[in-house]
């Protein structure tokens, strides 16, 4: 064994058959006959998808404890041979190695008997855990079980709300606390280690037990690895060393708001003119309907045939150039499906690029009153073709970015070109979809300049997706699906290595009586200013959503807050640079900056924006003031300049336009921060 191994890895064996694995003085695994570290099993799942919502049941036929361990030491590894009992012909080999800085356990079963795997990772009672992709209801996941399966995030996401009830009854779409577009089998523990399970299978991470975390996967994973760190910044740096980091956002990003507008060339020009006349700095126009739209009972939906629609957007090819010359970029929209009534589908189908049913027909997926084929990215030719669609129809058209939507809808029974089970490929799909976009942009030489943004994710998007957005919040104040839910979403994605995050300003989903009130839109903007990108969305039913230009007061508020956003750019750029270079998330939990503060570990509705800004967004309606927890430091309230010192709760006035934000008195950016309130031209 190497000396590094000897210094860092320790096995303790007791005469009673107990085995402990310590790594950098952390108890990682503990095997006792009453609590074996690994169980294997045989399950028979039933998976039903309805428009991206999944009913998943597992009939668990066997779950077998691997109680018996035989030990073998080689030059590079310790190999454990785990068996249900001493004489069993079945063996799971767990080969434990130090690989770079990782403690890596590779698993090799002697026979393909089992399709269920559980690993118990040792836990302490006070431990907290974060990550698992983007989690919208719980930042600290301790005490809950988290199914990890990319899907629609749910409407309401809380079975005790009427919105969720209606969404469930009408569309099977209500969701629950764990539903997310972006799951990932990776977490960071307050014992200061990373744990990652190398699998794309359905997984559940169960953090309910006092003594262990139980990590389940619906296959025997290739490997599980652990890596320790000195600090939480160190840990996110290490996470992104493995999974990748985004480039810095291009400078044009910071030049103004990205206006989500639609309806055709004239309509968009009109909205742009009015906004600019008022003084709104517009960095980009985001027109998701550049390829046309259709109307369904859900709301206005897009055409899903990824080509400029000149009937709806006459002269757009020239307009894009004109706008760009005026400093306004053009952003579009694409997703990995092609509507069956479009010519791209026709081409894909003819060439055999569409994923198939068991009997060899194109697998047609219901997206809600219209139907699509799934482009089969496991077919290299289809992958190439879709890249060329992005290059030819979008990049060459002059786009500087787009929403790369969806990725969660791979049906679990689809037949893929590469022969892999769709149960294994389902979770991988968002990462492959990110890679298609990444490769197209990279090959066009535009990586770091073009910005696409995704809601779906999985292991690996860290390096292939420049920007996350938080998916489809309801246009309301609910904790699990409204404005508030974006914050734990950003924090957990950040701990998972996706450090650049933003959201639809005002939220998206207006269903079952939910209509977006003006107050929600303005509060959402107030929060968004302290994220890397500010972008509006008209919502699925624009007529039921208050819009940025629905009255003068709102438009003026957008002018003022966008001014603050652009004025903050020097700081934001520095923060984003740190994300790009080291993987440290732009929006980060308080404990990442204040490790000693015990309270900080339980907060999920306030965050540090970079090292120097503390942001506690107002996420309730009719609020006059807001109570904020401040860790031990010298703080200045952004709007009043009032100084605070020491740890504890403070209550500040928090009218619209003055989101509770504090800066560190000793920040190098203190004078920039102090100047921000003066950026407002309409109010002060």
The terminus-to-terminus CA distance of the chain in angstroms comes to: 66
Q: Which stretch binds a copy of itself (CB under 8 A): 162-170, 354-362, 418-426, 432-440?
A: 162-170
- Indicate the helix (H) or strand (E) that contains 433: helix 429-443
* Contacts of a copy of itself in 467-486 (CB under 8 A): none
Q: Which stretch binds a copy of itself (CB under 8 A): 63-71, 280-288, 509-517, 606-614?
A: 63-71
234 as an active site residue: the answer is no
Please report, for residues 321, 455, 456, 468, the alpha-carbon distance to residue 490 in angstroms, rounded to integers and kept in the order given. Answer: 34, 11, 13, 9
Cα gap 544→538, rounded to integer Å: 9
Residue 155 or 529: which CB sits closer to a copy of itself?
A: 155
**24, 376, 400, 405: which is the annotated catalytic residue?**
405
**528 SS3 class:** helix
Residue 166 or 555: which CB sits closer to a copy of itself?
A: 166
Q: Which stretch binds a copy of itself (CB under 8 A): 74-82, 149-157, 160-168, 649-657?
A: 160-168
* Least distance in angstroms from the C-beta of 125 to a copy of itself: 18
Calculate ∠ Cα 333-337-342, nearest 5°: 85
DSSP state of 411: -
Q: Which stretch binds a copy of itself (CB under 8 A): 165-173, 304-312, 494-502, 564-572?
A: 165-173
Residue 17 or 570: which CB sits closer to a copy of itself?
A: 17
**171, 472, 504, 606: which is the annotated catalytic residue?**
472
What SS3 string covers 670-681? HHHHHHHHHHCC
Q: Which stretch binds a copy of itself (CB under 8 A): 158-166, 192-200, 306-314, 506-514?
A: 158-166
* Contacts of a copy of itself in 32-61 (CB under 8 A): 39, 41, 60-61
Cα gap 662→467, rounded to integer Å: 25
* Least distance in angstroms from the C-beta of 603 to a copy of itself: 28
Contact call for residue 64 and a copy of itself (CB under 8 A)? yes
Reading the block at residue 268, the tokens are 């968009």
Residue 4 or 60: which CB sits closer to a copy of itself?
A: 60
Contact 433, 480 (CB under 8 A): no
**191, 408, 578, 606: which is the annotated catalytic residue?**
408
In sequence order, which ranges of 444-507 are alpha helices (DSSP H)?
486-495
* Least distance in angstroms from the C-beta of 636 to a copy of itself: 44
Contact call for residue 168 and a copy of itself (CB under 8 A)? yes
273 as an active site residue: the answer is no
Reading the block at residue 124, the tokens are 């302490």
Contact 220, 109 (CB under 8 A): yes
**Closest to 572 (Cα-Cα) out of 521, 634, 506, 501:** 501
Q: Which stretch binds a copy of itself (CB under 8 A): 83-91, 123-131, 181-189, 418-426?
A: 83-91
79, 88, 190, 349: which one contacts a copy of itself (CB under 8 A)?
A: 88
Q: Which stretch binds a copy of itself (CB under 8 A): 80-88, 433-441, 553-561, 670-678?
A: 80-88
Contact call for residue 160 and a copy of itself (CB under 8 A)? yes
* Least distance in angstroms from the C-beta of 120 to a copy of itself: 10
Contact call for residue 111 and a copy of itself (CB under 8 A)? no
Contact call for residue 165 and a copy of itself (CB under 8 A)? yes
Residue 116 or 537: which CB sits closer to a copy of itself?
A: 116
56 φ, ψ (degrees, to nearest 5):
-120, 125
Residue 23 or 218: which CB sits closer to a copy of itself?
A: 218
Strand residues in 282-436 grouped as ranges (E): 282-286, 293-296, 299-302, 329-334, 337-339, 364-366, 371-374, 401-404
Residue 169 or 643: which CB sits closer to a copy of itself?
A: 169
Residue 156 or 292: which CB sits closer to a copy of itself?
A: 156
* Least distance in angstroms from the C-beta of 81 to a copy of itself: 17
Contact call for residue 87 and a copy of itself (CB under 8 A)? yes
Within 10 A of 181 (CB to CB), how many other CB atoms are there?
A: 28
Strand residues in 66-115 grouped as ranges (E): 68-73, 77-83, 92-99, 102-109
Contact call for residue 63 and a copy of itself (CB under 8 A)? yes
Q: What is the CA radius of gyration of the chain?
A: 25
Cα atoms found within 13 Å of the Cα of residue 412, Cβ hemisphere only = 22
* Least distance in angstroms from the C-beta of 148 to a copy of itself: 18
* Least distance in angstroms from the C-beta of 303 to a copy of itself: 33
Q: What region does 365 belong to: left with phi over 0, alpha with psi -120 to 50, or beta?
A: beta
Residue 87 or 419: which CB sits closer to a copy of itself?
A: 87
Contact 484, 603 (CB under 8 A): no
Contact call for residue 144 and a copy of itself (CB under 8 A)? no
Query: If binding means CB under 8 A, how many residues of this protein chain bind a copy of itself?
Result: 18
Cα gap 523→504, rounded to integer Å: 12
Cα gap 377→413, rounded to integer Å: 16
Contact 550, 519 (CB under 8 A): no
405 as an active site residue: the answer is yes
Q: Which parts of this chain interact with a copy of itself (CB under 8 A)?
A: 39, 41, 60-65, 84-85, 87-88, 159-160, 162, 165, 168-169
* Residues with a known catalytic role: 405, 408, 472
């Amino acid at each position: 064994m190497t000396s590094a191994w000897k210094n860092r890895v320790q096995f303790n064996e007791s005469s009673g058959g107990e085995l402990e694995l310590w790594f950098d003085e952390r108890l990682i695994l503990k095997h006792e006959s009453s609590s074996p570290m690994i169980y294997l099993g045989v399950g028979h799942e039933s998976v039903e998808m309805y428009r991206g919502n999944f009913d998943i049941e597992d009939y668990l036929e066997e779950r077998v404890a691997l109680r018996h361990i035989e030990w073998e030491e080689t030059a590079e590894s310790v190999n454990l041979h785990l068996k249900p009992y001493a004489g069993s012909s079945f063996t799971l080999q767990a080969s434990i190695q130090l690989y770079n800085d990782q403690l890596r356990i590779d698993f090799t079963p002697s026979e393909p008997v089992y399709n269920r795997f559980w690993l118990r990772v040792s836990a302490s009672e006070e431990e907290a855990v974060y990550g698992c992709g983007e989690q919208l209801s719980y930042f600290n996941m301790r005490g809950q079980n988290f199914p990890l399966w990319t899907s629609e995030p749910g409407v309401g996401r809380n079975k005790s709300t009427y919105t969720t009830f209606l969404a469930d009854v009408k569309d099977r779409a209500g969701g629950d606390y764990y539903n997310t577009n972006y799951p990932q089998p990776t977490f960071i523990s307050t014992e200061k280690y990373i744990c990652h399970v190398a699998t794309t299978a359905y997984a559940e991470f169960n953090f309910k037990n006092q003594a262990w975390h139980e990590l389940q996967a619906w296959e025997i994973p290739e490997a599980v690895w652990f890596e320790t760190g000195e600090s939480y910044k160190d840990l996110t740096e290490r996470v992104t060393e493995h999974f990748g980091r985004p480039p810095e956002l291009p400078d044009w990003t910071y030049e103004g708001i990205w206006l989500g507008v639609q309806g055709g060339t004239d309509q968009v020009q009109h909205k742009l003119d009015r906004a600019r006349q008022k003084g709104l700095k517009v960095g980009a126009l985001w027109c998701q309907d550049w390829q046309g739209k259709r109307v369904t009972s859900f709301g206005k939906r897009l055409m899903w045939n990824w080509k400029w629609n000149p009937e709806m957007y006459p002269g757009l090819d020239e307009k894009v150039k004109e706008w760009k010359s005026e400093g306004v970029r053009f952003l579009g929209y694409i997703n990995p499906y092609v509507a069956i009534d479009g010519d791209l589908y026709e081409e894909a189908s003819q060439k055999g690029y569409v994923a198939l049913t068991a009997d060899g027909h194109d697998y047609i997926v219901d997206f809600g009153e219209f139907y699509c084929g799934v482009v089969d990215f496991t077919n290299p030719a289809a992958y190439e073709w879709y890249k060329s669609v992005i290059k030819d129809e979008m990049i060459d058209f002059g786009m500087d970015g787009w929403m790369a939507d969806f990725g969660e809808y791979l049906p679990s029974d689809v037949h893929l070109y590469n022969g892999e089970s769709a149960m294994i490929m389902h979770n991988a799909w968002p990462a492959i979809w990110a890679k298609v976009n990444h490769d197209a942009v990279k090959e066009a030489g535009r990586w770091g300049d073009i910005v696409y943004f995704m809601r779906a994710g999985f292991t690996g998007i860290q390096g292939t997706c420049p920007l996350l957005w938080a998916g489809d919040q309801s246009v309301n104040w609910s904790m699990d699906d409204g404005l508030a839910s974006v914050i734990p979403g950003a924090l957990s994605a950040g701990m998972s290595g996706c450090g650049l995050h933003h959201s639809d300003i005002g939220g998206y989903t207006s269903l079952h009586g939910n209509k977006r009130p003006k107050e929600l839109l303005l509060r959402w903007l107030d929060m968004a200013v302290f994220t890397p990108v500010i972008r509006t969305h008209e919502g699925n039913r624009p007529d039921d959503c208050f819009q940025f230009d629905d009255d003068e007061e709102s438009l003026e508020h957008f002018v003022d807050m966008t001014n603050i956003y652009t004025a903050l750019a020097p700081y934001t750029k520095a923060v984003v640079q740190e994300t790009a270079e080291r993987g440290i998330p732009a929006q980060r939990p308080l404990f990442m900056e204040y490790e000693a503060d015990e309270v900080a570990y339980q907060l999920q509705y306030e965050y540090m924006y970079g090292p120097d800004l503390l942001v506690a967004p107002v996420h309730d309606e009719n609020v006059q003031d807001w109570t904020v927890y401040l860790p031990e430091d010298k703080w200045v309230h952004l709007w009043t300049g009032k100084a605070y010192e020491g740890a504890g709760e403070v209550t500040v006035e928090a009218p619209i336009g003055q989101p509770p934000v504090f800066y560190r008195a000793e920040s190098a950016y203190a004078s920039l921060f102090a100047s921000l309130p003066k950026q407002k031209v309409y109010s002060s």
